[in-house]
Structure 1
């Protein structure tokens, strides 16, 4: 009888998936199956990717080898089956006390175990011979020792890189050429010495990097940014002569925008042979040359956070200014924009159904996504929403934008001048360094408590002094910032809003897109809530619940009410007005 064979392959980390480890193991095992006349099948090829035999992860719940082992114990293979592996360390690298019980369990359960290495076969239902025992012990112990050595070398190399990065902070020196894509490296050590590279910014790529961050702050999502970069043929960054053929992707742009290395920070990671990488909870400031300042980075993260729930077609077309803002009054679901007629398309006259004319503008409606798609509420066993009334989009957009311009004229805040922006950057930088110093001081205090070391005591006291000095510097900078905001000129926001309004329907695609993105950011900043009702009215709350508005289907303002009569200033001033920042105000309790 021809015995069916199952091939088992394994590799420890995902980087090996890019190499030939899997291909090599499968090829060797398939050859052995054919050589012995067993019955192979691709359906019986088990591959545990990124699971370590040293830690035993490949024999833990969830691994394919674990499932095979459980099936064997349950008696599934008692009629004969062969498990083929490249060598025993693919099964376990935890030593003889792990590999021998495994062999005994499988063979006793009717499974023949075969290894390509040495063309060794451990037959089912046969006692494992002393020679096989010795061979298994020697091989598994050698594998375990090699794994331990490799693990120690890897940890030592990682720790050494961290300590060297901490020692070289501010010098922009790396011991590896693997650095972020916007950084160039030049070897400064001799070929006979350990590698050392001087890092510098690649100005061309940094210009693109800063553009990506600015577009993010301006309201563009990663799909729109990717489309923009690919559309103009912006070369995709390559690293170590490895270049992507997929162009700029949403995933890559997202990784760039959230990567704190743009500010020069190095965050070492634990990279185990199996499982995901985890942080070492160490931050090395000023390791890389800084390409993006902390204020710009923080603004980009805030912009990304503010756009949650607005993904989809708007990220590309920028048509719907209320994407992620407008909700259904009945169910709280999102209002989706659907175009009925495009500009220039044929439209029938309501009074004379036989007459057809060309529309002079797009005609679209906001519709409840849940009602439109008949989304089912399983908990209540009914349609989630019955609000099938449509809200005319173009008229509502025009009315809301017009009112927003007036609202901002009366409630404008002083915008940052160049001097204010500079101080904000200095404060952000100082706070980052203060946070790092405080962590060092806390660690030193813990070490001193545990060891009573005089050296750790001196380090702890020195760091405490540096923390106090850094905080004094921040206090001084914040006073400068307050003074700059008091005396800084208030910009004419009306001109900016009017420019956005004029360009919303521009024939120039780029100008129109930029204006609509900017206006959407403006509206998100002042609209607290926006609900479309079954009556086709739209209820809007502006500011911090300062004013409520109701627009009808024709875009007419039918009701407005002041919800909060008291206006508070940036420091708690009662009835504060931005045109008179130095007036004598009563402070809120």
Structure 2
């Protein structure tokens, strides 16, 4: 019966996967086994592809082989075939030798390159001694070669770093540049640079990835894709995402230690290494713009983001999400609504009201304009750009600190550097807080007209799409939920991220709306159309607000009676209550229609409202 043989194949870098290393090692193993009567186990091929033998943590398959030897899965006395001993280890001689002898306890080892068989079963002590001395020499040489190679590479890279501003590293540079013949400067590829500038321009004007992608591909002759390997010859979303965050565009290069997944930033980023394609302010504005555009999953149209309440509007009755419904136009009137998802699908909620969307959006835009309770700020200011820059510096310092924390704490230089980084982080935190406080004081707020122009009247559909997305993202960062109810008017209950609560009422019939914070005497009112008259408007608002409290009481009462068997007395009481509500509502209507400034009439109606309110006690 043929003895079993097992193969261990290793190479160090991913680049070797593109070459012949694996095929060469495996084919030689197959050839040797065939010529010498071994049965190669092709089910158990132990391979470390792109792994270093000088890093024991990377050789997981070799450890698995040793475990299989210990458990008996690998037959004792069988053969392990490797290209050379340095495939097993390039560690220090004591570690490599210990591992080598451990393997020999279970199997023989054959090295293809020098055609050497190492065996523990050979009864000749002299042969065993020669084998051990030979293996020591081979493994010692492998370790020394590995260390020498590391040292040379380190010296070469250190020289390149030291001369980085004199002589450019010509082995790698971004696609929008080429290196000069003397390697002392980079030359900009203007067509590629124009495309990058256009990407940043579109991003800072409110365009998202999809819209930028569409724009570039519609103008592909002017802005050709940077990838020569693209099958379609078109731009892809991932390229745009990478470019918008690539600091090489503002001239920086970050040098790294290590390779691939293990690479670690080495030192500070070198500024002004590459020629700048855009300035730092433009780059930072793009980062701010990207952060303001988070969109949850859901359906959106190619050119439309219809629902500004998306992700925050819920049913007042059951707290389920309000769904946007667009039934198109009828007699030149849009039929767009918000409605309870639970009620629409036949759930337990019985409030199937269709809230007219345009009325709700109009009220929302009033509430978030310069005179509202949640004013939206305009494009990034100098303060906001400074905040973004400090946040990036803070992140960089935190990354360096995390790397140092894993180092030797007994080294004085490391202890001092950790202290310096902690101080830098604390300083940046304090400065960011001060800048954010100043931003609240100086930021310019949108007027209602600005919001109408950007959210509704903007002719560029792509730009309007992105304006609405950004506003929705802003709202979701400020608001937990908006509970919406339709009584005799539209009622919106806002719960903010800080748990403060605002009540807003809009009465389209009277072109008047208002908002107040719970537990606060301060409130805001707005005449939606017509001439404002504060003394009249404040009285009208007081009547609408007080009447709305009654309607809420009435709504709660009717929900409580919904599943109750109502007798004739109950029905009479409800009928009487409805008549009183309609009577008081008519008094309020007449008062507001006439722009009545008569305090006596106002007091009489307020008394009627209080009497109606008492009926619910």
**Structures share a fold, TM > 0.5?**
yes
Q: Tell me, in whole angstroms, the C-alpha distance in 2 between the residues paired with 1:206 and 1:3.
A: 64
Counterpart of 2:255 in structure 1 is 268
C-alpha separation between the residues in 1 aligned to 2:506 and 2:77?
77
Checking the alignment, whether the CA contact within 8 Å between 1:267 and 1:283 is kept in structure 2 is yes
Matched, 1:529 2:523: no
Partner of 1:139: 138
Q: Which residue of 2 aligns with 1:406?
A: 366
Please report how far the alpha carbon of residue 94 of structure 1 lies from its aligned counterpart in structure 2 after TM superposition: 1.5
What's 2:109 paired with?
113
Match in the other structure for 2:189: 202
Q: Find the aligned partners of 1:366 and 1:114 in 2 and give their Cα distance.
A: 74
The Cα of 1:17 is off from its aligned counterpart by 3.8
CA deviation profile, 1:195-251 (whole Å, cap 9, x unmatched): x2412433322232233334444555546645654565453314xxx6344754444
Where 1:84 maps in the other structure, the secondary structure is strand
> How many Å separate the matches in 2 of 1:179 and 1:185?
8
1:66 and 1:547, CA in 2 relative to 1: closer, same or farther beyond 3 A? same
Give the Cα–Cα distance (whole angstroms) in 2 for the partners of residues 226 and 402 of structure 1.
32
2:176 is aligned, of 182, 203, 206, to: 182
Cα pair distance change 1:526/1:39, threshold 3 Å: same
**Does residue 93 of structure 1 match 2:48?**
no
2:69 to 69, 72, 75: 72
Q: 1: CA distance between counterparts of 2:148 and 2:271?
A: 31
Alignment of 1:34-433 (within 5 A): 34-40=34-40, 43-59=43-59, 63-79=60-76, 81-109=78-106, 111-123=107-119, 125-126=121-122, 129-165=128-164, 168=165, 174-187=168-181, 189=182, 196-217=183-204, 221-222=208-209, 225-226=212-213, 229-230=216-217, 233=220, 235-238=224-227, 243-245=229-231, 248-272=235-259, 275-308=261-294, 310=296, 314=300, 319=305, 321=307, 325-326=311-312, 398-407=358-367, 408=369, 410=371, 415=378
> 1:478-489, aligned counterparts within 5 Å?
none
Matches within 5 A, 1:439-478: none
Q: Structure 1 stretch 284-293 or stretch 242-251: which is displaced more? A: 242-251
5+ residue gaps in structure 2? 397-410, 414-423, 425-430, 523-617
1:308 and 1:125 mapped to 2: Cα distance?
67
Rg: which structure is higher?
2
Instruction: Tell me whether 261-270 or 155-164 shows the greater mean CA deviation.
Output: 155-164
Cα distance in 1 between the residues matched to 2:466 and 2:479:
19
Query: 1-side partners of 2:271 and 2:174: how far apart?
Result: 15
Equivalent residue for 2:452? 497
In 2, Cα distance between the equivalents of 1:393 and 1:519?
25
The whole-number CA distance in structure 2 between the counterparts of 1:365 and 1:395 is: 6
Contact 2:256 2:265 in 1 (8 A): yes
2:467 aligned residue (515, 518, 534): 518
Please give the alpha-carbon distance, in whole angstroms, between the structure 2 residues aligned to 1:388 and 1:524.
31
Higher relative contact order (CA 8 A, sep 6+): 1
Counterpart Cα distance in 2 of 1:400 and 1:513 = 23
Cα deviation, residue 562, structure 1: 3.1
Unaligned stretches of 5+ residues in structure 1? 190-195, 345-358, 373-385, 437-448, 452-466, 468-473, 568-589
Tell me, in whole angstroms, the C-alpha distance in 2 between the residues paired with 1:53 and 1:279: 23
Change (3 A) 1:108 1:425: closer
Closer/same/farther in 2, CA of residues 542 and 113 from structure 1, 3 Å limit = same
Q: Which structure's residues are more often helix, by fraction?
A: 2
Q: Flag the 1:96–1:497 CA change in 2: closer, same or farther, 3 A.
A: same
**TM-score, with normalisation over the residues of structure 2?**
0.60
Deviation at 1:501, TM superposition (A): 0.8
Q: Residue 9 of structure 2 contacts residue 46 of structure 2 at CA under 8 Å; is this kept in 1?
A: yes
- Indicate the residue corresponding to 1:587 in structure 2: none
* Matching of residue 561 in structure 1 with residue 511 in structure 2: no
Q: CA deviation at 1:16?
A: 3.7
SS at structure 2 position matched to 1:117: coil
Separation in 1 of the partners of 2:300 and 2:274? 36
TM-score, reference length from structure 1: 0.62
